[in-house]
Amino acid sequence: MQEYASLSTGAKSRLIMLLFGLFILQSAVFAQRNVRITIQKHSITVINALKEVEKQSGLSVGYNDSQLRSKPAISLQLKQAPLEQSLETILKGTGFTFEVSGKYIKIIPQPVEDHKPVQQVGGKVTDEQGEPLIGVNIQVEGTRQGVITDVNGRYRIDAAPGSTLLFSYIGYTEQRVAVGSRTEYDVQLHAAVEMLNEVVVTALGIKREQKALSYNVQQVTSDEISGIKDANFINSLNGKVAGVNINNSSSGVGGASKVVMRGTKSIEQSSNALYVIDGIPMYNFRYESDNSGLAFDSRGSSESIADLNPDDIESISVLTGAAAAALYGSNAANGAIVITTKRGRVGKLQVSVNSNTEFAKPFILPKFQNIYGTGTNGKASGTQVLSWGEKLNPAARRGYEPKDFFDTGLIFTNSVTLSTGTEKNQTFFSAAAVNSEGLVPNNRYNRFNFTSETPPVS
């Protein structure tokens, strides 16, 4: 006290102010430690959470509104949590931190960590059979840095420990590999099952992925065929296969159809396509009405393919050009229509019933001239060629209406299929009936199909 008394008045004032400031600071720190925050909301923005902290703590919170506005909403379950713990929870994953200074809280960006040392890693990418994959894309996730595999399936890329390599390839599932201390990472990619539905049937019934073929092939499924019912399923392909022209026969229901792929190939020979059912070619023989032995057209003739039950077809693959000839020989030079029939399926008994009724009427009829007669006075002259004679008397004229000659065509199609089997034995059975009456009187067509297939047990 003697030392304090010996101080001058100015020194005493400064000492008192210092002690008062220390008391104020100690009180603020003590108050911060006793602040408790309660925020219980399933969805709240970072800015609204900071405003709630400001309201409950009594401290001023400073932040950049434009930087925090884009942050996603968060879920908070804070109950009487300390101030620092509450701020850490609110700012977690935002890239921001906080500083408390007196009665102020500053929200500032987190300091950027030092970059980890980059190392070169590599390896080999293969498929499920161990074959190298060429052109696989490898990218350091979150960056624009990437490479592709070479002809041997190998790659080299710069990546820091802790980063992730993303391997992607068309037709295969993506795979991620975390980079650690090793420098070699061999990866095996697996085929994406959901992408393997585009399967076509080639020669000898071998199934291949459509994208793996080097030649042009188009496929039509059974649903597309059954959507348009026709006694001859070939007519159902009309408009579904590019470059294929299908002309219906004028012989009525069940008649043959002319199928020409990419134009007529020959004047003297037929340009019809070759049909292949379950790997077995089906040839159609034509019988000419004259004695020349030649047919300078490609008209449809009677063919057994028209007798196939459409509900027995699983899929149709259409091959054009040299690919068809390479697979099935010169008989397929005009193209090939490869048909795969249905098989029994593993599982419980499945029964499918289809019934269809069609009505047919002539759409366009030729217009006839029934006003004027022929020749002079209704009589033809042997020395003159006259297009028209006198006008006929409407009262005496008995006109002929061509449409009265045609009947209403009726086509009834009914079929039933059964499929069942186990892992070792599958059974398929189908029965179908086509009963029709054509537009022309006495034009009838009846067809009955029965199919039963049970492969031998190996």
Average pLDDT over residues 104-123: 78
Look at the block and give the residue holding tokens 């987190």: 110
Please state, in angstroms and rounded to a whole number, the distance separating the CA atoms of residues 59 and 29.
12
Q: For residue 156, is pLDDT > 90?
A: yes
Q: Residue 292's pLDDT is what? A: 46
Question: How confident is the model over 25-49, as pLDDT tens digits?
Answer: 554 444 555 678 888 888 888 888 8
On whether the CB atoms of residues 90 and 75 are closer than 8 A, the answer is no
**Which amino acid makes up residue 54?**
E
Q: Between 227 and 415, whose confidence is greater?
A: 415
Confidence of residue 165 (pLDDT cuts 50, 70, 90): very high
294 band by pLDDT with thresholds 50, 70 and 90: very low
* Same topology between domain 119-194 and domain 199-341: no
Domain 119-194, architecture per CATH: Sandwich (2.60)
Domain boundaries, the chain: 2-109, 119-194, 199-341, 347-453
Whose tokens are 């079929």? That residue is 415
In angstroms, rounded to a whole number, what is the distance separating the alpha carbons of residues 209 and 317?
12
Instruction: Please identify which residue in the block is written with the tokens 């102020």.
Output: 104
Fold of the domain spanning 199-341:
Ferric Hydroxamate Uptake Protein; Chain A, domain 1 (2.170.130)
Q: Quote the CA–CA distance of 433 and 442 in Å, as a whole number.
A: 19
Fold of 2-109: Phage tail protein beta-alpha-beta fold (3.55.50)
| pTM given for the model | 0.46
Q: Is 80 helix (H, G, I), strand (E, B) or coil?
A: strand
| Whole-number Å distance between alpha carbons of 5 and 11 | 10
How many residues are recorded in the chain? 458
pLDDT digits (tens, 9 = 90+) for 120-151: 999 999 998 889 998 899 999 878 888 999 98
3-state SS assignment for residue 272? strand
CB 298 within 8 A of CB 272: yes
State both tokens at 412. Answer: 């009834």
Residue 18 pLDDT more than 50?
yes
Rounded to the nearest integer, the mean pLDDT of the chain is 76
Say what the pLDDT of residue 376 is: 54
d(CA 126, CA 306): 47
Stretch among 41-50, 206-215, 336-345 having the lowest mean pLDDT: 206-215
Among 3-12, 149-158, 299-308, 334-343, name the most confident range.
Answer: 149-158
Written as one string, the DSSP assignment of 153-209 is SEEEEEE-TT-EEEEEETTEEEEEEE--S-SB--EE--B-GGGTT-EEE-GGG-EEE
Q: Which tokens hold the place of 45?
A: 């923005």
Inform me whether the pLDDT recorded for 421 exceeds 50: yes
DSSP summary character for residue 430: E
Task: End-to-end CA distance of the chain: give it in Å, rounded.
Answer: 113
Closest listed residue to residue 138, CA positions, set 128, 124, 127: 124
- Residue the block writes with tokens 């590999």: 177
- Is 413 within 8 Å of 406 (Cβ atoms)? no
* 43-52, 329-338, 393-402, 438-447: least confident range: 393-402
